[in-house]
Amino acid sequence: MRNKKTVIVSNRLPVRVERRNDELHFIPSEGGLATGLGSIYQQEGNIWVGWPGFVPENEYEEAITREKLAELNLVPVFLTEDELQGYYEGFSNEVLWPIFHYRLSYAVYTTENWHTYQEVNRKFAAVVNQQSPSEKDEVWIHDYQLMLLPQLVREQHPDIAIGYFQHIPFPPDEVFRSIPWRDELIKGVLGADLVAFHTYNDSQHFLNACTHLLGLPIQNNSLHVDGRSVYAEVYPMGIDFEKFSALAASEAIRDRAKEIRNYYKDRKFILSIDRLDYSKGIIERLQAFESLLKEYPELREKVVLYMLVVPSRDTVPQYRLLRDEIDRAVGHINSIYGVNEWQPIAYYYNSFPVEELSALYVAADVCLVTPIRDGMNLVCKEYVASKEHTDGVLILSELAGASKELLEAIQVNPNSIDQIREALKTAIEMPMQEQRERMQDSIEIVKKFNVRHWVKIFFNRLHEIKTIQKQEMAR
């Protein structure tokens, strides 16, 4: 008898294909999701379905890619440039991303992009359905690019277990209502048996949207949809704690961290790392740093803000504008406050290897994580995991999902320049003993609720829900 098969689906595969000098390269992702789900999709019989990150130029490239990826249990969904434009950049990143991050005025509603989003979700469904899942199989769908997919799979396979995880926030229903196609989106998600979010508020917002928009009554945390119970629950994602902790403990990384600190002459080293995104609060963070230099002139030349911004979505106009705005703000602060010996901000618009990231975490006295909205935020957890042997203080936005877990961080409202400035002052002056005690509490949480734990409890619950549903049917 065939064993149960698990199918993971996400917009991107955990391996990306790159064409360099007419040769295809297969580059594994270091992301948390790839690590957490590695032990699942790499098991024989299981697969991961997603876009491989490039557009093949001909059938030969497509065939080679398919073959190579098959060896890794990966199944590609090939998309054309037009599909990527409409589904990913257009609908996902210009409608869902801004609305789900409470930025109503950033949304651009285009019917054509909505149609492409539907078509691409159908394309993903066709690939999943080709894997001929049977009743005892399970499908775990990830994130907002694939909100229609649970229902599209359900239509073909009424009895299989389907989970959906949303990595970004779910906004209050009156914000979600702004999207012209909101009903179709939640009906799509409701094809799943378990709909999961990082925080309680997100799950409640989703349930409220189902009630207020579709008239579905809520029973505790579940809804009755077409004779099935669908559960909306909370599973905060963790990181690969062991990886970051081991990197931080290694001699090479510790040496590199020392080198970084020496280069900045042992000044208080404040670290900021994000993807380029207006949800991350980068401008406000720069304003707060300037305010620190202005209000506390004695700190000038004693601190350095090391800001790494990783290029992202720079074909979307708002992202290009944000990049220019950051360039201007950094230039302004460095030119006003800098002296020969000292530049207040070391700014990089680049992507670094994870070893360099780890050295920065080890070197940093303060990690400043102040998103205006964030589903979870993994950077702050990676910082904590790198701090078993060195001191440091985490300043964390109360509007990041991680703030619900990391209660010992200095929490700030990310829109308050004053609060961020004062938090920086407190962090810089915090006694070592207090730093250690607070960090130890955070370390325990990040260590225990790591990414493997997250995967395990999600699947356990999905199986449990399937059993409950069967019992309900039998009644």
Which residues are at the interface with ligand GDG (CB under 6 A)? 30, 32, 167-168, 237, 273, 275, 310, 351-354, 357, 374-379, 382
Closer of 365 and 374 to ligand GDG (Cβ): 374
Question: Closer CB to ligand GDG, residue 375 or residue 392?
Answer: 375
The Cα 383–Cα 131 span in angstroms is: 39
Residue ranges with strand state E in 188-316: 194-197, 218-219, 222-225, 228-234, 268-275, 303-310
Task: Single out the residue of 387, 406, 386, 388 nearest to residue 396, CA to CA.
Answer: 406
Smallest gap from residue 235 Cβ to ligand GDG (A): 10
Strands (E), 319-430: 345-349, 366-369, 393-397, 410-412
Q: Could you give the maximum distance between any two Cα atoms of the chain, in Å?
A: 78
User: Residue 91 gets which letter from DSSP?
Assistant: I
DSSP state of 388: S
Note whether 90 and 50 are within 8 A (CB). no
CB 233 within 8 A of CB 195: yes
- Closest distance between ligand GDG and the C-beta of residue 32, in Å? 5
Phi and psi at residue 15, to the nearest 5°:
-130, 130
Q: How far is the CB of 339 from ligand GDG (least distance, A)?
A: 29
**Under a CB-based contact definition with an 8 Å cutoff, are residues 293 and 376 in contact?**
no
Residue whose CB is less far from ligand GDG, 250 or 426:
250
Rank residues 133 and 401 by Cβ distance to ligand GDG and give the closer one.
401
Least separation in angstroms between residue 266's CB and ligand GDG is 24
Between 124 and 454, whose beta carbon lies closer to ligand GDG? 454
* Nearest distance in Å: CB 378, ligand GDG: 3
The SS3 assignment for 340 reads: coil
Q: How far is the CB of 2 from ligand GDG (least distance, A)?
A: 32
CB of 406 to ligand GDG, least distance (A): 13
Closest to ligand GDG by CB, 63 vs 354, is 354
To ligand GDG, the closest distance from the beta carbon of 38 in angstroms equals: 15
Nearer to ligand GDG, 193 or 405 (CB): 405
Spatial distance between the Cα atoms of 52 and 72, rounded to a whole number of angstroms: 12
- What's the gap between Cα 340 and its chain centre? 39
Please, are residues 323 and 276 in contact by the beta-carbon 8 Å criterion?
yes
Identity of the residue, 291 or 318, whose beta carbon is nearer to ligand GDG in the bound complex: 318
Kindly state the smallest distance separating residue 49's Cβ from ligand GDG, in Å.
19
Nearer to ligand GDG by C-beta: 342 or 352? 352
Q: H-type helices in 364-431, by residue range?
A: 379-385, 417-429
Give the chain's end-to-end CA distance (angstroms, integer): 28
Runs of H (alpha helix) within 316-449: 317-337, 354-363, 379-385, 417-429, 432-448
Token pair listed for 199: 């925080």
Residue with tokens 């378990």: 194
